[in-house]
Amino acid sequence: MLPQKQAEEAIVSNFNEADPEGKEEQQPIEDDQSIFNVKNLLWHGGSAWDAWFSCSSNQVAQVLLTLPYSFSQLGMLSGVILQIFYGLVGSWTAYLISVLYVEYRSRKEKEGVSFKNHVIQWYEVLDGLLGPYWKAAGLAFNCTFLLFGSVIQLIACASNIYYINDRLDKRTWTYIFGACCATTVFIPSFHNYRIWSFLGLGMTTYTAWYLTIAALVNGQVDGVQHSAPTKLVLYFTGATNILYTFGGHAVTVEIMHAMWKPQKFKYIYLLATLYVFTLTLPSASAVYWAFGDQLLNHSNAFSLLPKSGWRDSAVILMLIHQFITFGFACTPLYFVWEKVIGMHDTRSICLRALARLPVVIPIWFLAIIFPFFGPINSAVGALLVSFTVYIIPSLAHMLTYRKASARQNAAEKPPFFLPSWTAMYAMNTFVVVWVFVLGFGFGGWASVTNFVRQVDTFGLFAKCYQCKPPPPTAAHQPAIAPPHH
């Protein structure tokens, strides 16, 4: 019996060799077709590369078009520095989340818990490691963040398509794209986003370099001014939008769980962020250089660039990518809802899709109420991302390993670049204090002030936010008085 017991312990301790959907990764190869068929190529993705594509694609969606707007609030120097700073801090907290996931899963599987047909989520990790109050906090912040993240994608779809076809107003386009994005209910999990993640990153890469080259070719507009920063409200609004840019962590655990070897995730988010820098820094800098203060009234960079085939191609690619990003943001919400109503273990894709539809309806409704995604980005960044992405993971890591026994038996030891537990505690404390004071405090004040101002100016349920007024028709032109004889 001893060899059998050793084999069972090896399986438990090496959980990361298992496919999260219950199939062993090292299954026997029956024939070459089992590896090279089209379904596996396009549908079943669980490698480190798949995770990298998912993280990279998820980070740089609509935010590409709002970063020049943020630069117009921050100024060029602050915009570049804050992008690099929050990108690195975001990579650090993504690393913490991956460590806590591995810790939670290794503890549970040593207890004999099976995760076949069950996707682990961040709130479950917090619950298993720290208790129900942390579970409630994680669930509240994550779900609200993902809800508004999905809303932003719908608003952005309507905003972008308007630059190609303005015969319909943006609110009507929101109705149409809400129906299109509802089809994401048919994608079972992040394990099935392989081809979409690959295509999505290609689309944002094209769009980023289109923005860069088009701005440089267009050159600086007449009388261009770069007066930022001018007001504290605008400065911290822009800063929180950048904080939001590198806060795709709400889906980190789900992406990890879709991997065949989740322990390989540790540095994937950092590598994804470094690639994202090659897209965001050149495009935001070039567009701000070309248009300057005009961007203060144009939160979507497409609105200032001249109409051309290149621009229309970028708009269409971003529309497709926003559909993908909508699915990324909604899928964790689908999982939570499935667990609430007891449908998470259901094998039928159609039945699960039907159960997921109630999640899409409030997102659709909110996108129609608040049709301005620039200010929403900042508000979500300050009030939700600051906790979900930065503060909660840092505090959770410190509390999980507060005891010497926990540190000694940790599934993941401190990284090679920060090998002491004391240094990790110092780093986590810095992140918590910085983000709470500047991100949540000042950023929350600035973004809410800006958000309220937008509502007062344009109103809720705006039919066409930041649209050009239609040319006057003959019926509305003032009558010309007949000449007096």
Is 6 contained in some domain? no
Question: Do residues 217 and 338 make contact, with C-beta atoms less than 8 angstroms apart?
Answer: no
Task: Decide if pLDDT at 339 tops 80.
Answer: yes
Is 1 contained in some domain? no
Amino acid letter at 89?
V
Is 132 contained in some domain? yes
Dump the DSSP string for 363-405: HHHHHHH---HHHHHHHHIIIIIIIIIIIHHHHHHHHHT-SHH
Write down the pLDDT at residue 123: 92
Q: What predicted TM-score, i.e. pTM, was given to this entire model?
A: 0.82
Dump the DSSP string for 25-44: TT-----THHHHSHHHHHT-
Q: In terms of residue numbers, what domain contains 240? A: 53-456
Residue bearing the bigger pLDDT, 96 or 348: 96
Average pLDDT of the residues in 219-223: 91
Is 242 contained in some domain? yes
Say how many domains are in the chain: 1
**CATH number for the domain that contains residue 322:** 1.10.4160
Q: What is the pLDDT of residues 405-462, one digit of tens each?
A: 999 999 888 988 888 999 999 999 999 999 999 989 998 898 888 777 766 666 566 6
Is 480 contained in some domain? no
Question: Do residues 330 and 363 make contact, with C-beta atoms less than 8 angstroms apart?
Answer: yes
Label residue 131 left, alpha or beta by phi (over 0 means left) and psi (-120 to 50 means alpha).
left
The most confident of the ranges 156-165, 257-266, 267-276 is 267-276
Spatial distance between the Cα atoms of 213 and 32, rounded to a whole number of angstroms? 44
Average pLDDT of the residues in 269-290: 94
Helix (H, G, I), strand (E, B) or coil at 128: helix
Q: What are the respective helix, strand and coil percentages of the chain, to the nearest 5? A: 75, 0, 25
Q: What is the pLDDT of residues 142-162, one digit of tens each?
A: 888 888 888 888 887 877 787
Write down the pLDDT at residue 183: 86
- Kindly report which listed range (237-246, 275-284, 365-374, 444-453) carries the lowest average pLDDT score: 365-374
For the record, the structure tokens of 362 come out as: 């409030």
Is 378 contained in some domain? yes
Question: Do residues 455 and 362 make contact, with C-beta atoms less than 8 angstroms apart?
Answer: no
- Kindly report which listed range (42-46, 92-96, 139-143, 195-199) carries the lowest average pLDDT score: 42-46
Q: What is the pLDDT of residues 169-201, one digit of tens each?
A: 777 888 888 888 888 888 877 777 778 888 889
Is 14 contained in some domain? no
Is 4 contained in some domain? no
